[in-house]
Structures are given as C-alpha cells and as structure tokens.
Amino acid sequence: MNEPPTGADIETLARMAARLAGRNPDEHLKIELAGEIPFDDVMWRYHDFLMRAEAAYHALTAPHLVKPPTRNRHHHPASGDAHRSPANRSESKAGGSTS
C-alpha cells in the first residue's frame, strides 16, 4: 500500500494525535506571537499534529508491516519449556535430566 494518504486518512490520524496529546481535536486554537497570528484553526489542524499524522500513516503502511508475521502455533512465549515434550517437562520439575 504505497499510495499517498488521503485527506480523510490524515484527518483521522491528526485527530488521534491531538487526543493522545490530551487535547480536544475540535477545540479552537489561536496562537499569537508578537502581534502575529501564525495559527487560528481547530486543534487537529495544528502543524505538529498533521506532521505526526503523516509520519504515522507512513509507518503504518510500511512494506514490512503490510503482511502480518507468521505465528508458531506450538510455542507459547510465556512457557519457557513449551518446546519440550510432556515427559521432559515432568522430569524437569522433578529435578531430572532434560537432555
């Protein structure tokens, strides 16, 4: 999916960025610096949130993320001895050899 992001994609991600920053995406923001107004719009259109949205879009559509990894159905990472046979697991718990 190497397509450029649509306006709706960027808006959705920018709204999420604003929410994650603890801001209401629809809140009006007016920035005034030395008599100049560099920004006067809704929060999700703030430059920083738009940049984060575009970066997130590119990260989420990177080629290595498009295809989910294949999972080994027989190995459970929480169980350190999942690769051993049931007989070997019981020997290990009883203090016997597992070789």
- Asked if residue 28 belongs to a domain, the reply is yes
- Domain range for 48: 1-71
- Asked if residue 84 belongs to a domain, the reply is no
**What is the percent of the chain where pLDDT is above 70?**
62
- Asked if residue 98 belongs to a domain, the reply is no
- Asked if residue 96 belongs to a domain, the reply is no
Q: What is the C-alpha to C-alpha distance for residues 29 and 40, in angstroms, rounded to an integer?
A: 6
Of residues 25 and 97, more confidence is placed in 25
Across 3-21, average pLDDT? 90
pLDDT tier at 68 (50, 70, 90 boundaries)? low
pTM over 0.85: no
Q: Name the domain count of the chain.
A: 1
Across 63-76, average pLDDT? 61
Residue 78 has pLDDT above 70, yes or no: no
- Asked if residue 1 belongs to a domain, the reply is yes
* Cα angle, residue 43 at apex, residues 40 and 35 outer, rounded to 5°: 25
- Asked if residue 15 belongs to a domain, the reply is yes
- Asked if residue 92 belongs to a domain, the reply is no
What pLDDT sits at residue 6? Answer: 86
Per the CB < 8 A criterion, the answer to whether 74 and 82 are in contact is: yes
- Asked if residue 39 belongs to a domain, the reply is yes
